[in-house]
Amino acid sequence: MSENVTQVMMDEHQLILRMITLVEQNSARVRNNDFSDWAFFIDAVDFIRNYADRYHHAKEEDVLFVELVKNGMPEKSSPIEAMLMEHDQGRALVKGMESAALTLQAGEPGGEKELVENAEAYAALLRGHIQKEDTILYPLSERVLPGGVRGRMLRAYEEADRRMADAEPRYRTMVERYEAV
């Protein structure tokens, strides 16, 4: 039985989905003029940039996708190209979220529409993205990656975790704090 190299990523998806749920709930409240804690959206941007992107997507882009290509998955017109494109689309939407949230936090009116449009688009994109990885790309990875590469993949994940050792507890605490509100 070869080592599983995607369970850790699926576990990270669970925390990302919890933040996405908060983003959706608070965006709906902004639409109803019932929420103005702009710091939440600044924190959500921090979570997405550092936990979802730097911590989680880095493992995909620097380890998992690289091994898939080495083991025969094409780079172009492939699931990998589609996933990378979605990572980039997410980064653009997060920029939009951030600039609107900073404008609102500075007390300038009128950023609500830009904020919720970017936030809702990001949430929808990432939900679909995670769904595709959990149900298609990761199971496919478990089928095609040979046992011999898995040890070094797990070591590379651990190395990435060591470089951001505080990310898991820090962002888990952030999610729990907002869930408790």
Among 133, 138, 167, 171, indicate the residue that binds Fe ion (CB under 5 A): 133
Q: How far apart are CA 129 and CA 145, in angstroms?
A: 21
- Name the residue nearer to Fe ion (CB basis): 48 or 83: 83
Residue 41 · residue 119 · CB < 8 Å? yes
Looking at residues 17 to 56 of the shown chain, list those that interact with Fe ion (rule: CB under 5 A): none
- Name the residue nearer to Fe ion (CB basis): 40 or 51: 51
Shortest Å distance, C-beta 83 to Fe ion? 5
- Name the residue nearer to Fe ion (CB basis): 102 or 164: 164
List, in sequence order, the alpha helices (H) in the chain. Answer: 7-31, 38-47, 58-59, 65-70, 79-105, 112-132, 138-144, 147-163, 167-179
The residue count for binding Fe ion (CB under 5 A) is: 3
Which segment (111-119, 133-141, 163-171, 173-181) binds Fe ion by CB under 5 A? 133-141
- Name the residue nearer to Fe ion (CB basis): 43 or 133: 133
Query: Residue 78: exposed, middle, or buried by beta-carbon count in 10 A (0-12, 13-18, 19+)?
Result: middle
> What are the two backbone dihedrals, phi and then psi, of residue 78, each rounded to the nearest 5 degrees?
-140, 170
- Name the residue nearer to Fe ion (CB basis): 90 or 111: 90
Largest Cα separation within the chain, whole Å, is 58
Q: Is 94 in the site for Fe ion (CB under 5 A)?
A: no
Q: How far apart are CA 68 and CA 64, in angstroms?
A: 6
Looking at residues 51 to 90 of the shown chain, list those that interact with Fe ion (rule: CB under 5 A): 60, 83
Instruction: Using CB under 5 A, list all residues that contact Fe ion.
Output: 60, 83, 133
